[in-house]
Amino acid sequence: MNIEDVLCSKTRLKILKALIDSQQTPSVIARNVAVNFVKTSKSLQILESEGILTHAKFGKRIRYYKYSETPRARAVQNLVVAFQERLTE
């Protein structure tokens, strides 16, 4: 999947914006971006498979998603931050 396909989804963009400064569980992300849990989970899987997000497990079932430390993930994060800053000017 290329970056255009990854970023063409409004849900994935909302998730990326929600995770700029924090790590969150899928249920918190779903609530914050106002998207159902199933669609959020599928988007998280895509973003993780593309190396943009990663997760840490706590216990057996709790996962916290955050941006990965890869150069690609940092580039996407910088892009999202730049657009957020531009919108608030």
pLDDT digits (tens, 9 = 90+) for 33-84: 999 999 999 999 999 999 999 999 998 889 999 999 999 999 999 999 998 8
Are 29 and 78 within 8 A, CB to CB?
no
CA–CA separation, 78 vs 58, rounded Å? 28
- For CA atoms 85, 34, 11, 50, the dihedral sign is positive
* pTM recorded for the entire structure: 0.88
pLDDT digits (tens, 9 = 90+) for 7-47: 889 999 999 999 998 999 999 999 999 999 999 999 999 99
For the chain, which domains are there? 3-88 (1.10.10.10)
